[in-house]
Chain A
Amino acid sequence: MHHALLICIKDLRQRLRDRTAILTAIVAPLVLTALMGLALGGSQGGGGGMRLCIADLDHSKLSSGFVDFVERPALGGLIRVEPVDSIPAAEQMIDQHQAECAVVMRPGFGRAIASGNPPPAEILAARGEEFARQGTSELLRNYIHHAAIPHDRAVPEVIPRSAGGQMRVVDFFAVSMTVLFLTFGVLSGVRALQTEVDSRTMVRLIASPTPPYAIVAGKFAALLLIGLIQMGTMIAATSLLFGTRWGNPLPAAALVLTSVLMAIGLTAFLMSLTKNAEQGTALAAIVITLLSIVGGQFLPPQGLPDVFETLTRLTPNGQAFFGFLDLAAAGAHGTLMTIAQPLAFTAIVGLSGIALAALRARRSLQEMT
């Protein structure tokens, strides 16, 4: 036990002194999360709101009501209205990138609605602002249909509901990058271990009076602690920096543990397939990158084809990723049952990988001795 502890502490010290490993495990995922959150957090026209020009050339009660309709509280101040008095003025606003879209209500707009005819209106849109155009089009059509209905008649509408906890784009990528870089962080530890095998340090250790199980236990405990420290740091950092919520702490801790096991198992197994640490690191880096791409971890979630849902479920990193997302969705109600599948999947992959890697390592050490 004493020997195992000494080996574990020595390995941990070595890892924590490795500034490159810390940069890769902590700083890189935080920078990428911040970039992705900043870039995509306001996508689809939501970030800074939309600037909408309104040219009311009709000056009727119905046409002037459109401004109130657009600025109503239900739209959450997403649209900033810029009234103009002519079509050239609206065109100029769009030309000078002062507005994404403009609505022109020509004379006769109110009369046409009252008589049940399509009103003379058009939308001017800036190039490349498709989402703004779609939003403007929906707003105008909604207003025209709404205005045609008698006031005493109730019109059904949608009532917004929350789909669960808080999940912004930055939270999505915080989880994604934390899981992805966990494998890279653990990989640097596995690489150091393999380097000791390559340089025959491990053979000398085994030849020493230290029991082999103590060496294995010490090395494994160090890898486990590296992964747990990394996950803990990332969870704390993303919570503080981005306000990401990770759900109920107890099931989250269980998933952190099985995810670390998964990362150790996956990287150790890949490392064991190669001849040396350099080859193993390259192979593991390629496989992890491909798994993360296939698992949709680098892609904005909106609009991904359904097949990515299945692919993500088939990858161990994807299982951990979805597990943490599901926990965040469940908020305080999250239990071990919420993440039963990710827990089982990551644990099985982790333990199998570790067992296979240990078998192969044992064989190669026997060959060396």
Chain B
Amino acid sequence: MRLSDSLSVIFRAATVSGAGVRRDRRRLVSLFLVPTVVMAVVGFAMGGYSSASFEVGLLDQANTIESRALAAALVSNEHFHIRDYTNEERLKIAVFRGRMNAGLLIPPGWHGDQNLPLYLSTASGGAPAVVQTGINTELSRMAASGQPLDVPVSYPEGGHGGSQRLGFGYTAPANLVLFAMINGFVSALTILQLRESGISRRLLAAPRRTWELLAMLAVAPAQQIVAQAVFLILTPRLFFGIHWGDTVGLVLITAAVTSLAVAIVLLMGTVFRTRQQATSLGPWIAVAIGMLGGCMWPLEIVPPFMKTLAHLSPASYAMDAYLGLIFDHATLSEIAPDIAIVFAFAIVIATAGIVRLRPQLSR
């Protein structure tokens, strides 16, 4: 059998599945609309973190010259993002829920001579201690009648501290990687359907070689994943102004991510036993792997042991590559190791899937 004949069969399988997806509005919504909404909402939310500052609620019940001076000093402190409150209960709740790292209450009649109560959040690690120190700094500066003090900062590793990798520049690749994996887990459904309906046995009986059958199985989810990836690259570029960096690097890492997702389809098609498992459990397994790999929050903010664990997730390497391209304008050679590791994950997962696939399809 000639190669052109094989390719023709695979192409026909792709055309049929593509037409099916285009008619399925639910699939189109979950492929394109959901990731876009998630990217927009999370990107907007992450804008709140982009200054890497501490959130401090302020309730000034004194409204004296001293209290206004303290409030002004806190507002001008680059490390604080101050939000005014008019109700002590609301201030406490905001601190309790972790939206504020701390809440400062300036009681009536305060003239800079008494201590001030500060509500501290228990939901944000060591941040409250820093906020406490920062407010004490302003209080002691006012007491000393001193001027604001700038302490020079340098970075021995070179460059500058820079802003954290947040906002749409972060959520765009994070959602691309996350939804490619979710798509991979959920698309395992196609293989399960073939097994359940008995079509897989008939396919195996057809005069086709094994690689052709595997390609026919993989081509349907592959084209959906590729279409979704292209959409999730173009949408943030057009609407949120995201520059994805080096084009070749972008194409290669996206190829690696889509290969990974297709490999997940092949493996999970043999691991899941029912369609319900694929649709109910699949997305959450993908979310857990994505969380581990930094698709939900930057790995810079997680503790060291979670950074180590992140290396178990292929998402972390994909994110490293994308973030390098977007934020550091990395070259292809700089992200090549990450691309290679994602491809390696894809090869290992796909091999495991293929080994399990044939005996399962014939059942």
A-side interface residues toward B, CB under 8 Å? 20-21, 23-24, 28, 31-32, 35-36, 38-50, 74-76, 78, 90-91, 94-95, 118, 121-131, 133-135, 137-142, 144-146, 148-149, 153-169, 171-172, 184, 188, 279, 281-283, 285-286, 289-290, 293-294, 296, 298-306, 308-309, 322, 325-326, 329
Chain B residue at minimum C-beta to C-beta distance from A181: B284
Q: Which one of A35, A44, A137, A149 contacts B301 once the chains associate, using CB atoms below 8 Å?
A: A44
Taken residue by residue from 143 to 164, chain B's Cβ proximity to chain A (1 for < 8 Å, 0 otherwise) reads as 1101001011111111111111
Chain A residue at minimum C-beta to C-beta distance from B99: A301
CB distance from B1 to the nearest CB of A (A): 37
20 interchain pairs, CB-CB under 8 A: A20-B280, A28-B284, A39-B306, A44-B124, A46-B129, A47-B303, A91-B156, A95-B156, A135-B129, A146-B144, A156-B113, A156-B143, A157-B136, A160-B118, A160-B120, A168-B122, A171-B123, A293-B42, A296-B45, A304-B45
Q: Is the CB of A31 within 8 A of B133?
A: no
Q: Which one of B49, B133, B162, B296 contacts A303 once the chains associate, using CB atoms below 8 Å?
A: B49
CB distance from B41 to the nearest CB of A (A): 5
Contacts A163-B93, A301-B123 known; 19 new A-B pairs at CB < 8 A: A39-B303, A44-B301, A45-B126, A46-B126, A50-B126, A95-B156, A118-B149, A122-B152, A137-B151, A145-B144, A155-B139, A156-B116, A156-B139, A158-B104, A167-B98, A281-B279, A286-B29, A299-B45, A303-B48
Q: Does B291 contact A (CB under 8 A)?
A: yes
Q: Once the chains are docked, how many angstroms separate the CA of A280 from the CA of B36?
A: 22
Q: Is the CB of A159 within 8 A of B117?
A: yes
- Whether A329 touches B93, Cβ cut-off 8 Å, given contacts A137-B151, A156-B143, is yes
Q: Is the CB of B96 within 8 A of A165?
A: yes
B-side interface residues toward A, CB under 8 Å? 26, 29-30, 34, 37-38, 41-42, 44-45, 47-49, 52-55, 79, 81, 83, 92-93, 95-101, 103-104, 112-130, 132-137, 139-141, 143-144, 146, 149, 151-164, 274, 276-277, 279-281, 283-284, 287-288, 291-292, 296-297, 300-304, 306
Q: Which one of B47, B120, B133 contacts A139 once the chains associate, using CB atoms below 8 Å?
A: B133
Chain A residue at minimum C-beta to C-beta distance from B298: A128
- Whether A298 touches B153, Cβ cut-off 8 Å, given contacts A135-B133, A162-B120, is no
Q: Is the CB of B141 within 8 A of A294?
A: no
**A123 cross-chain contacts in B, Cβ below 8 A:** 151-154
Q: Which one of B104, B122, B144, B274 contacts A148 once the chains associate, using CB atoms below 8 Å?
A: B144
Q: Would you call the interface of chain B mostly helix, strand, loop, or mixed?
A: mixed
Q: Once the chains are docked, how many angstroms separate the CA of A50 from the CA of B139?
A: 24
Nearest 10 interchain pairs by C-beta:
A46-B125, A46-B126, A301-B98, A142-B137, A47-B303, A158-B118, A163-B95, A91-B156, A44-B127, A145-B140
**A299 cross-chain contacts in B, Cβ below 8 A:** 42, 45
Q: Which one of B93, B291, B302 contacts A43 once the chains associate, using CB atoms below 8 Å?
A: B302
Q: Once the chains are docked, how many angstroms separate the CA of A289 from the CA of B29?
A: 13
Q: Is the CB of B129 within 8 A of A76?
A: yes
Q: Is the CB of A169 within 8 A of B98?
A: yes
Q: Once the chains are docked, how many angstroms separate the CA of A165 from the CA of B95?
A: 11
CB distance from A117 to the nearest CB of B (A): 11
Q: Which residue, of B83, B115, B123, B303, has the highest number of chain A Cβ atoms within 10 A?
A: B123
Q: Is the CB of B34 within 8 A of A127?
A: no
Q: Which residue, of A21, A23, A127, A308, has the highest number of chain B Cβ atoms within 10 A?
A: A127
Q: Once the chains are docked, how many angstroms separate the CA of A50 from the CA of B126?
A: 9
Q: Is the CB of B126 within 8 A of A162?
A: no
Chain B residue at minimum C-beta to C-beta distance from A154: B113
Q: Is the CB of B302 within 8 A of A40?
A: yes
Q: Is the CB of B144 within 8 A of A283?
A: no
Q: Is the CB of B281 within 8 A of A134?
A: no
Q: Which one of B52, B115, B126 contacts A78 once the chains associate, using CB atoms below 8 Å?
A: B126
Chain A residue at minimum C-beta to C-beta distance from B296: A298
Q: Is the CB of B144 within 8 A of A149?
A: yes
Q: Is the CB of A293 within 8 A of B38?
A: yes
**A184 cross-chain contacts in B, Cβ below 8 A:** 280
Q: Which one of B123, B157, B277 contacts A169 once the chains associate, using CB atoms below 8 Å?
A: B123
Q: Is the CB of A167 within 8 A of B122?
A: yes
Q: Which one of B123, B155, B164, B280 contacts A172 once the chains associate, using CB atoms below 8 Å?
A: B123
Q: Which one of A95, A142, A148 contacts B133 once the chains associate, using CB atoms below 8 Å?
A: A142
Q: Is the CB of B130 within 8 A of A45?
A: yes
**A28 cross-chain contacts in B, Cβ below 8 A:** 281, 284, 288
Chain B residue at minimum C-beta to C-beta distance from A306: B83
Q: Which one of B137, B157, B159 contacts A95 once the chains associate, using CB atoms below 8 Å?
A: B157
**A42 cross-chain contacts in B, Cβ below 8 A:** 125, 302-303
Q: Is the CB of A47 within 8 A of B125?
A: yes
Q: Is the CB of A167 within 8 A of B276?
A: no
CB distance from A97 to the nearest CB of B (A): 9
**A131 cross-chain contacts in B, Cβ below 8 A:** 52, 127, 130, 301
Q: Is the CB of A46 within 8 A of B302?
A: no
**B157 cross-chain contacts in A, Cβ below 8 A:** 94-95, 126-127
Q: Once the chains are docked, how many angstroms separate the CA of A286 from the CA of B28?
A: 12
Q: Once the chains are docked, how many angstroms separate the CA of A28 from the CA of B163?
A: 34
CB distance from A82 to the nearest CB of B (A): 15
Q: Is the CB of A157 within 8 A of B115?
A: yes
- Whether A44 touches B125, Cβ cut-off 8 Å, given contacts A31-B288, A39-B297, is yes
Q: Is the CB of A283 within 8 A of B125?
A: no
Q: Which residue, of A46, A129, A131, A285, has the highest number of chain B Cβ atoms within 10 A?
A: A131
**B132 cross-chain contacts in A, Cβ below 8 A:** 74, 158, 160
**B155 cross-chain contacts in A, Cβ below 8 A:** 124-127
**B115 cross-chain contacts in A, Cβ below 8 A:** 156-159
Q: Once the chains are docked, how many angstroms separate the CA of A302 from the CA of B118?
A: 17
Q: Which residue, of A35, A38, A48, A134, has the highest number of chain B Cβ atoms within 10 A?
A: A134
**A50 cross-chain contacts in B, Cβ below 8 A:** 126
CB distance from A292 to the nearest CB of B (A): 10
Q: Is the CB of A305 within 8 A of B114?
A: no
**A95 cross-chain contacts in B, Cβ below 8 A:** 156-157
**B274 cross-chain contacts in A, Cβ below 8 A:** 20
